[in-house]
Amino acid sequence: MRLQDKRTLVTGGSDGIGLAITEAFLREGADVLIVGRDVGKLEAARQKLTALGPAGQVEMVSADLATSPGIAAIIEHVRASGRPLDILVNNAGVAYLVPFETVSEAQFQHSFALNVTAAFFLTQGLLPHLGPCASVINISSYFASKMIPKRPSSLYSLSKGALNSLTKSLAFELGPRGIRVNAIAPGTVDTAMRRKTVDNLPAEAQAELRAYVERSYPLGRIGRPDDLAGMAVYLASDEAAWTSGGIFAIDGGYTAG
C-alpha cells in the first residue's frame, strides 16, 4: 500500500471530493483525520469509512475553518496528538457563483476565509508538525483559468486563482524543508455543493449548462468525486517525491482546448 502508516488530514472530508480522497487514502493504508463543520455529516462519514475495513484509522474533528478559532483548534488537535502529519489536503471550500454586480461583502469575505485564508494559515500553523517529505495538496478549480458562459464566477475564480498562486509560492518556500506543495484543479464535479449551486440557477440557465457540458467535455461527462482520488494518492505518495508546484487539471479534457 502506497500510504501505509502515513497520517493525513483532509479538510471538508465528510462528503464530496474530500470524502472520496479520504476513502482512497484509507485503502492505501493511511490514517486519516477528517475535518468539517457538521458533526452529523462527520459521524456519518466516519461510520462509512470505518466500514471499509482495517486498512487505516479514522478520526474526526468538527471546526469552522472560516474562523481563526476553528483553524487554531485543528492545529492544537494535531499538536496534542504528538504524531507528525505526513499529508495535508486543503479541500474545504465554498462557491458563490453569483453575478459580479451582486456579490456582497459578506460573500466575498466568507469565500476568501474558507478558500484561501484557511489553507494559508492552517498550512502555516501545521508546519512544525509536518513530517519529513510531507505533501500538501490544495484543491483548486478550473475556474481559476477558464470560465463557462452564463455561469458567473468572478469571486470563485478569484479565490481559486489565489490558491494556485499560494501553491506555487509555497512549493518554492517549503521545498528546502522537503515539503512538497501541489494543487488539483478539477473540472465540474457532481457534488452536493455543485448540485445546490446549479439548483439555484434559473431553469433556462440549467438547461444551457447541461448542453454546454455535453458538447464541451471531450470525455462527454462531468466528473465524479472518485475521479480525483487517484491523483491525490499519487501526489501524497513517495512516487511523487520530485513533484512540487504543479497545478494538475483533472477535468475530462475540458481545459485542453
**Total domains in the fold of the chain:** 1
Q: Which SS3 state, helix, strand or coil, does residue 69 take?
A: helix
Residue 257 lies in a domain: no
Structural domain span for residue 69: 7-251
Proportion of the chain above pLDDT 90, given as a percent: 78
What is the model's pLDDT at position 203? 86
Which has more pLDDT, 207 or 243?
243
Distance CA 208, CA 203 (A): 9
What is the model's pLDDT at position 213? 73
Give first-to-last CA distance, the chain, whole Å.
Answer: 36
What is the model's pLDDT at position 58? 94
Q: What is the distance of C-alpha 257 from the center of its chain?
A: 24
> What residues contact residue 199 under an 8 Å CB cut-off, 6+ apart?
206
Residue 115 lies in a domain: yes
Which grid cell sits at 135? Answer: 505533501
Instruction: Give me the catalytic one of 96, 142, 156, 254.
Output: 156
What is the model's pLDDT at position 56? 77
What is the model's pLDDT at position 55? 66
Q: Is 53 left (phi over 0), alpha (psi -120 to 50) or beta?
A: left
CATH number, domain at 192?
Answer: 3.40.50.720
Interval 135-141 mean pLDDT: 98
Which grid cell sits at 100? Answer: 459580479
Cβ proximity of 250 and 186 under 8 Å: yes
Distance CA 214, CA 199 (A): 18
Residue 2 lies in a domain: no
Name residue 32's amino acid.
V
Residue 93 lies in a domain: yes
Which has more pLDDT, 195 or 127?
127
pTM of the model: 0.93
- Please confirm, yes or no, whether 156 is among the known catalytic residues: yes
